Every structure is written in C-alpha cells, then in structure tokens.
Amino acid sequence: MKKTYTSILLLLVIVQFGFGQQSRNMLVSPSWLQERVNDDDIVILAIGKEESYAKEHIPGALMLDWEEYTFNDDTHDFDLRTVAELKDIFESKGLDDGDKVVIYTSDNWVSMITRVYFTLDYLGYADNTYLLDGGIQYWKAEGGAVTDEVKAVKKGNFTPKPRKEILADRAYVLSHLNNNNVNIVDGRATVFYEGIDAGNGGRSRKGHIPGAKSIPYTSLAKLADHGAYKFKSLQEMEEIFKAQNLDHSKQLLLYCHIGMQLTVVYTAAKMLGYKDIKVYDGSFYEWGPDASLPIELETN
C-alpha cells in the first residue's frame, strides 16, 4: 500500500510540474561516484583553481582549466572554442566514445561545471555527462578519498556531434525580441537585470535585453550543510521558472554577462524537461556596449 501511495505521489508531481520523459537529472552523488571511481570507462574532470587541484582532488581526476575550453578576444569573452579544438582538449583528458564524464568543482564554482556540461552538450555528449552535485566538499563529507597524485592519461578517441542549433547569435536574438513563442531569460543577478549596476567592468550599458525574464543563476542553488552549493530540488526550481511564466512549450533563449552564469539556468532547464533551449553565447558582453541594439530598464 505504501509503495502504491508513493507511486501515485510521483505521478502527481510529474503531471503538476511538467517533468517526464524529456527531463534528465544529470546530478550524481558521492556514493554513485565512489562505486565507479576506478572504472576504466569514467573520466573525472576537476574544475577550479590549479592550486586547489594540486592540493587535493578526487583520485583519477584531471584538471580542466576554463582557458582550455573557452576563448576571449576584444569582442568575445568565455565563448566556445572550435569543435576541432574541443575535440583535442577532451581527448587529451582521455575521453573515448562511450565513456562517462563526471564534472566537479573544487572551489564552489557551480557555473564553471555547468559551462563544461553545456560544452559537452553542444558536442552531442550530454547523455554521458554527469555533475557531482556539491563538488569535492560533499565528496569529502561523505567519506570520499582525496589525493595529490596526478593520473597519467592516454589520449582518447572522441567523436563530437556538434549541435549548432542550440546556439543563438546577436541577429537571432534581435529578430526574436517580439516572438510570442520565445522567452528570453537573463541569468544575471537582479542588480544587473534591473540596471542598478552595469556589470562587465562598466563596459556595458545598464539594463537588460527588452522583454527578458529574470532568473538569477544563484537562485537555483543553495548552500548545503557541508559548505558547498548544491542545486535546489526539481520542485523548487520549477517554481522559480513558473514564477516567470516560462512555458515548457516555448523556446528558452538564455543570456548573462559572458555566457557562464546562464549555463546554470540551462542545466536546470534541461533537468526540468525544457526541450527547446538556445544560448546567446555573446551575451551582454556583446549586446551591452552596442548602442545600436535596444535595451530596457526596469521602471518599477
């Protein structure tokens, strides 16, 4: 009877919140990883500061610095590298087709690990990519071992299947400002969305892209007892999306400062079953300084 009651409750949650076959929870626990940490088909990537990695990391984990998988120039910051470059980078970490990739942070940088998740999703590898929720702090709190030894790795053989359809450029955003089937979402903190602060070192104008809804990336995670940030529950995140009237049937078009914070929103949306999500990778770093592009300030 108890089992039947639990099943009914789960069904009600799926109906009420719109989860189901399209959603995917890519978060894994320390116990899940502890059972697989020595498997030959697992690639563990540590995201954070080099000194943190050198001090301690999960056994077998390899350091992945943000400068390895992104690039910047005078008009772009933190953008995707070419597919060929990304293929070489992940192969250098030993990634073979079919391997499981587990990403974790050693410095409480949730947006750093979600940026790597987004990158692998762009390369068509999301189904084999997992995030260790709570990072190394949660790993240690649950009894996970750490080491300062660096694993020797053999170059892998990885076949990217790029999903260019998940990327949007400035022209796409501009042409969809008044499209009723598209919800533009700003992942920055409220002070930037409302125009209290310009952000991006003052190089941007104040405000947000016209019509954009606000989901600050920090609203989707919370500090756990062990001192690390973890994603909120599916129900909590769905309520945040619902508060902004984000319909599952409409496209989500995400931006932030430089394309990093938005990936927290992106990852949450994937977990909640949103099927049509695009990322404006140029984000406000590109949009904000360009006086020819429209901008909006909160008037409340």
Q: Do 118 and 73 lie in a common domain?
A: yes
Tokens linked to 234 = 């599916």
Residue 203 scores a pLDDT above 90: no
Q: Do 40 and 124 lie in a common domain?
A: yes
Q: Do 188 and 272 lie in a common domain?
A: yes
Tokens linked to 68 = 């390895």
Q: Do 125 and 189 lie in a common domain?
A: no
Q: Do 121 and 44 lie in a common domain?
A: yes
pLDDT in tens, 215-247: 999 999 999 888 889 999 999 999 999 999 999
Q: Do 126 and 198 lie in a common domain?
A: no
CATH number, domain containing residue 28: 3.40.250.10
Residue 146 belongs to a domain: no
pLDDT in tens, 75-94: 555 689 999 999 999 999 99
Domain end among 82, 108, 141 = 141
Domain count, the chain: 2
Residue 296 belongs to a domain: no
Residue 257 belongs to a domain: yes
**pLDDT for residue 13:** 38
Q: Do 198 and 233 lie in a common domain?
A: yes
Q: Do 211 and 125 lie in a common domain?
A: no
Q: What range defines the domain where residue 248 resides?
A: 164-287
Residue 45 belongs to a domain: yes
Place of tokens 């209290």: 196
pTM recorded for the entire structure = 0.90
Q: Do 84 and 168 lie in a common domain?
A: no
Q: Do 133 and 185 lie in a common domain?
A: no
